[in-house]
Amino acid sequence: MKKSTKVRLASFSAAFLLVLGGLLLDARLLLNSSKTELEYTYRRALNDLSDYVSGMRSTLKKAAYVNTPVLRGTVSAKLLEQSGGAKAAMAVLPFSQEKTDRISRFLSQIGDYAMMLSRKSLTDAAASEEELQNLSSMERYAGILTDALAEIQARLSVEKASVGKTESLLNNVDEIDSLPSFDDSLDEVAKEFSEFPSLLYDGPFSDHILRREALFLKGKAEITAGEAAQKAAAFLHCKPDELEALGTGGSAIEAYVFSRGDSRIQVTRLGGEIAYFKKSADVPEEKLSYEEALQAAAALLREAGISSFQESYYVKNDNQCTINFSYLSEEGLGVVCYPDLIKVTVELGEGAMLEYDATGYLMNHHSRELVAPALDAETAKKNVSPLLTVESSALALIPTPGLSEVLCWEFLCKDRDGGEALVYINAESGLEEQLYLLQKDEHGVLTI
């Protein structure tokens, strides 16, 4: 064979190997990408399943305390939604058939039981003692499943393992085997389900959907960018020329946007009100207590010109404390107006403000004619579940899913285990409008 031929063959072989290597590399990268995408899908499904089951646990507890047909229907609808969401998430995960069948049956029976309670509520019949016991049992086992899923997530995190490669983690959790099989008669409950009202806000009267005109700004004059800069500078205790204008923006309310260092602030085009302020900061240590943080946040509100308010829920995280404030009517009734919400975040080092969100207040605050309620507290209290002990009462204005407002008696209650709940009874009709469970720990006070 000629030398030139050998050279050509060697070149062709080298080129072929390079092409083949490239193809193999592309295939490997594609396979790795597919595995990464599958792992992401598994992780998301596991998080969703855990969230749905944890939510079911809370809703089942609420269901035991609900005392009127309207709210029982709403809570039942929530259970059905959570049950369906949990089953959809579970279907994605590589559980063994045995585990899948056991968990799916458990979730289905909770949904079916909720449907039965909903149908029963149409006849205005109260829950029987047996039904209350069943709800308590379901809540307990939902807690077992929640803990089992949390264990799986914790082990995946600690071991830095992938769901796809460690299916045994999903299939060797003993708690799952202890899930009960309730009475087969539950499976006979009709599956047809008409639409129930849904909760259109996230949390207790705090982040409900903002879809209407900002009531507080209605009829107010439009200001210029220069005037807005003056307002922002006064809020930040600086000079207007220290601000950088970023144009207009705002998700719910049109506003002028400015920045100053690591801070950003929004001033409404109508009325020139401070709508939002945010400052980025790392807080190395926590020096202030919640009470001290509350004092600092309240002082900042008064400085912003808001003098009548009441704090409600708060959360501490990363050495920061976010507190929810609602407008407290200055009329004789002293009604807490939950729709008129302002959130203030202060850092727990020196108490400086890191965030101020007045969107809820600007959207909902307006002059109201609050008249004396038709029902007094003692009369309204009769519609609170006998499983709860009323500790205190107050008048409160709460938002409805339809973005209107309803005057209620707010009852702070305790259950037999020492847990706390808030029950809202319509001050005109006596209907049970809403119920929340209070969650208190080292991170704050929230509602579920």
Taking only the tens place, the pLDDT of each residue in 24-40 is 555 454 444 445 565 66
**Both tokens assigned to 373:** 């309620």
pLDDT in tens, 249-303: 876 789 999 999 989 999 999 999 999 999 988 888 889 999 999 999 999 999 8
DSSP one-letter string for 313-344: EEEEETTEEEEEEEEE--STT--EEEEEEEEE
Q: What are phi and psi of 92, to 5 degrees?
A: -80, -25
Chain centroid to CA 392: 26
Name which of 80-89, 155-164, 377-386 the model is least confident about. Answer: 155-164
> What is the pLDDT confidence band of residue 377, given thresholds at 50, 70 and 90?
very high
Cβ count near 161 (within 10 Å)? 13
Residue 344 in contact with residue 355, Cβ under 8 Å?
A: yes
Residue 434 in contact with residue 442, Cβ under 8 Å?
A: no
Residue 389 pLDDT greater than 90, yes or no: yes
pLDDT in tens, 90-112: 887 776 666 667 777 778 778 87
Residue 173, CA atoms < 13 Å, CB-side half-sphere: 25
The span from the CA of 113 to the CA of 136, in Å, is 12
Residue 289 in contact with residue 321, Cβ under 8 Å?
A: no
| Predicted local confidence at residue 278, as pLDDT | 92
As a whole-number percent, the residues of the chain with pLDDT over 70 amount to 75
The span from the CA of 144 to the CA of 360, in Å, is 38
Residue 373 pLDDT greater than 70, yes or no: yes
| Predicted local confidence at residue 366, as pLDDT | 92
189 vs 35, which has greater pLDDT? 35
pLDDT in tens, 42-75: 778 888 888 898 999 999 999 888 888 888 888 8
| Predicted local confidence at residue 67, as pLDDT | 82
DSSP state of 31: H
Cα–Cα distance list, 293 to 32, 65, 290, 345, 358 (Å): 48, 34, 5, 9, 18
The number of residues making up the chain comes to: 448
Cα–Cα distance list, 176 to 5, 136, 144, 157, 221 (Å): 70, 18, 8, 20, 62
Residue 192 pLDDT greater than 50, yes or no: no
Residue 408 in contact with residue 393, Cβ under 8 Å?
A: no
Q: Where are the alpha helices (DSSP H) in 400-447?
A: none
